[in-house]
Amino acid sequence: MAGEAQNPLKERMTIHGELDADSFVPWIRRHAAKLGVTQAITHHSPDRIEIDLSGAPELIDMLEVGCLLGPIDVWVETIDRRPVGNAGG
């Protein structure tokens, strides 16, 4: 348990769809904060948002589900996730 808190999962989440809603980025930030997931939005456009995330795997999963179901004024088509690590430069 304590090991998970000390070694959180680090991932990049890429959301694709019709995302041209000013409310979606703040929505993501609020929900990540509620879940205790650290986030940094690295790209935002009308059809793609990229977010670097750090937190417990289950909480990142919950954020993904939330984004899929998220605000009514966006349409999420797909979400891709991949690990982000410090290895190999």
Structure confidence by residue, pLDDT tens digits, 45-82? 999 999 999 999 999 999 999 999 988 899 999 999 99
* pLDDT of the residue at 4: 46
Number of Cβ within a 10 Å radius of residue 32? 25
Domains recognised in the chain with CATH numbers: 2-83 (3.30.70.100)
Of 50, 28, 48, 24, the C-alpha closest to 37 is 28
pLDDT, averaged across the chain: 89
* pLDDT of the residue at 6: 62
* pLDDT of the residue at 52: 98
* pLDDT of the residue at 23: 86
